[in-house]
């Protein structure tokens, strides 16, 4: 379960679970997609996705929000108009994630960028990864 703020938790199943021990994920801030349609994965209802990056050598890293970011704080592409979240039905019908994810990747400073020019951030600061450069964000 992932705390998404305001006392709400979502159940999420990570596809990349072999890369992270449970202890690495407990009490860690992560970036998640909350407006996904519920799917059943191994008898568990998954209602969101934890975002990460991976390279072609099999290294996987979670996206790190700014340490000052509050739990549940939205992230957005700085410089782009911030819009209201779409519903899970709109997300699936319009293939929103599939369209956007092709343009969200890390730069040479390990910062997450949209269209190579807009930093992905919260009000508290930028979203980063530990070490992977020039890789796409995935779920």
Of 112 and 92, more confident: 112
pTM: 0.87
Every domain of the chain and the residues it spans: 2-138
Q: What are the φ/ψ torsions at residue 94 (nearest 5 degrees)?
A: -95, 5
Q: What value does the mean pLDDT of the chain take?
A: 89
2-138: CATH topology is OB fold (Dihydrolipoamide Acetyltransferase, E2P) (2.40.50)
DSSP label at 19?
G
Q: Can you name the residues that pair with 106 across neighbouring β-strands?
A: 112
Query: Quick one: pLDDT band at residue 15, thresholds 50, 70, 90?
Result: low
Q: What are the φ/ψ torsions at residue 4 (nearest 5 degrees)?
A: -110, 20
DSSP label at 10?
E
Q: What are the φ/ψ torsions at residue 128 (nearest 5 degrees)?
A: -135, 175
């Amino acid at each position: 379960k992932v705390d998404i703020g305001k006392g709400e938790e979502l159940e999420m199943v990570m596809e990349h679970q072999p890369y992270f021990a449970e202890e690495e994920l407990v009490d860690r801030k992560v970036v998640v997609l909350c407006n996904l349609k519920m799917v059943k994965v191994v008898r568990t209802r998954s209602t969101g996705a934890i975002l990460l990056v991976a390279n072609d050598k099999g290294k996987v890293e979670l996206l790190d929000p700014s340490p000052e970011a509050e739990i549940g704080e939205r992230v957005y592409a700085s410089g782009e108009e911030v819009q209201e979240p779409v519903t899970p039905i709109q997300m699936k019908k319009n293939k929103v994630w599939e369209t956007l994810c092709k343009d969200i990747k890390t730069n040479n400073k390990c910062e997450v960028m949209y269209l190579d020019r807009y930093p992905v951030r919260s009000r508290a600061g930028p979203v980063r990864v530990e070490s992977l450069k020039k890789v796409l964000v995935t779920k």
